[in-house]
Structure 1
Amino acid sequence: MKLDTKKFEKEIKDKVGTKRYDHMLRVSKEAKSLAKIYEEDEDKAEIAGYFHDCAKLKDKSEIPSLCQKIDFEITDEMKKAPSIIHSFLGAVLAEKLYDIHDEDILNAISWHTTGRPNMSTLEKIVFLADYIEPGRDYPEAKKARTLAYKNLDKAMEYALNQNILNLIDSNKYIAMESVNARNYYLEINR
């Protein structure tokens, strides 16, 4: 299954904007690089990286009607942490609009924001590719990038810790899956 970005470029770029679309391309490339190192399916990684933010719409007011159109229910957890909606909605869009039916790819899209315990290698790759892609030049991303190319589980623990600290600093709700994921990687890295 090869990715043809030209097929979706205009539609997705119109929905998410040029800046977000460029980020999606960088994540796709980063995911493919990590997949090569960890002997994961490079095509799947590239596809999941490409579609990971396909629901991060530049016009947020379109989200309720889109959810209604594709019969997607926003949970109470998502209402408390609206920044996670796009990952779960994105997996549904990838399946219904872009004809992606591979469960591993859809899971990688779903969990790229919160993480979860016992993620597949592909899920970890997409989560980390989003965190470390070359456009992310803050110190935490640089450290996570170094870790990601050595040990995915240690990189997951570090990135989840940083995400949670940022949410605390911003006084935002922390999705329980992120807490559970962080604790899981803390335990397995001991």
Structure 2
Amino acid sequence: MDRELLIEAVKRQMPEKRYRHVAGVVDTAYVLAQRFGGDPDKAWLAALLHDYAKAWPTDRMERIIREQGLPAELLDYDKELWHAHVGAWAVREELGIEDEEVLDAVRYHTSGRERMTLLDRIVCLADYMEPSREFPGVARIRELAEHRLNEALVAGFDSTIGFLIERGKTIFPLTILARNDLVREIAAAGKASER
């Protein structure tokens, strides 16, 4: 499917305001991929698709999670997580996207995961910091993202975790694992540079 057809397919899934966010993530992911040595074309594609199912009704997403054997534990956590896994399933089924790296970047853009790929990191970070995002700490995330991908992503996870704690919500375990994995990676890189 060519880019224009993909863009139109994505636009049909969401209101205009959500698509403006997606367009911001696409532009930001493309820049981050160039900055940090990622594949700009894959970053473009994964960013375009990342919120494919975001505007779908929760009962539709719940049905897909149950019927398609997606991780059932998602249903025990905030519905904001559901669209990522459902979206990865949907873009494979509806759009014929087969690239597992792109599908994983869609699947884990909200939660993160251990051993995130560079593409996972780029899409997740772009989702945090695209130009229309405004929340406490986003300026710091953008500043870190000028030179330090992992540190910027940790700051994003810290923001999400802090937000959930303030509201008394549960935290999806993959988010904690992703953050801890990045913190260990940053520490190891720091020790290696001291040698």
Q: Note whether the superposition's TM-score is higher than 0.5.
A: yes
Q: 1:35 aligns with which of 33, 43, 46?
A: 33
* Aligned equivalents of 2:159, 2:25: Cα separation in 1: 19
**Partner Cα separation in structure 2 for residue 164 and residue 65 of structure 1:** 27
Runs of 4+ displaced beyond 4 Å: 65-69
Q: Please state how far the C-alpha of 1:9 moved relative to its aligned partner.
A: 4.2
1:119 aligns with 2:116: yes
Distance 1:111 1:28 in 2: 16
* 1:98 and 2:87 matched: no
Q: Which runs of 5+ in 2 are unaligned?
A: 188-195
Q: In the alignment, residue 112 of structure 1 is paired with which amino acid?
A: H
Aligned residue in 1 for 2:192 = none
**1:34 match: secondary structure:** helix
The residue number in structure 2 matching 1:134 is 131
- In structure 1, the residue matched to 2:154 is 157
Whole-Å separation in 2 of the counterparts to 1:96 and 1:174: 29
Partner of 1:170: 167
> Shift of the alpha carbon at 1:57?
1.8
Contact conserved, 2:111 with 2:175, CA < 8 A, in 1? yes
Larger radius of gyration: 2
Taking the aligned partners of 1:130 and 1:115, their CA distance within structure 2 comes to 12
Contact residue 16 and residue 56 of structure 1 kept, 8 A = yes
Query: What fraction of aligned residue pairs are identical, expressed as a percent?
Result: 29
Indicate if the aligned counterparts of 1:3 and 1:46 stay in contact, CA closer than 8 A.
no
With 99-108 and 13-22 compared, the bigger mean Cα shift is at 13-22
Secondary structure, counterpart of 2:95 in structure 1: coil
Q: CA offset at residue 80 of structure 1?
A: 2.2
Q: Aligned AA for 2:74? A: E
The offset of 1:156, in angstroms, is 1.5
Tell me the residue number matched to 1:48. 46
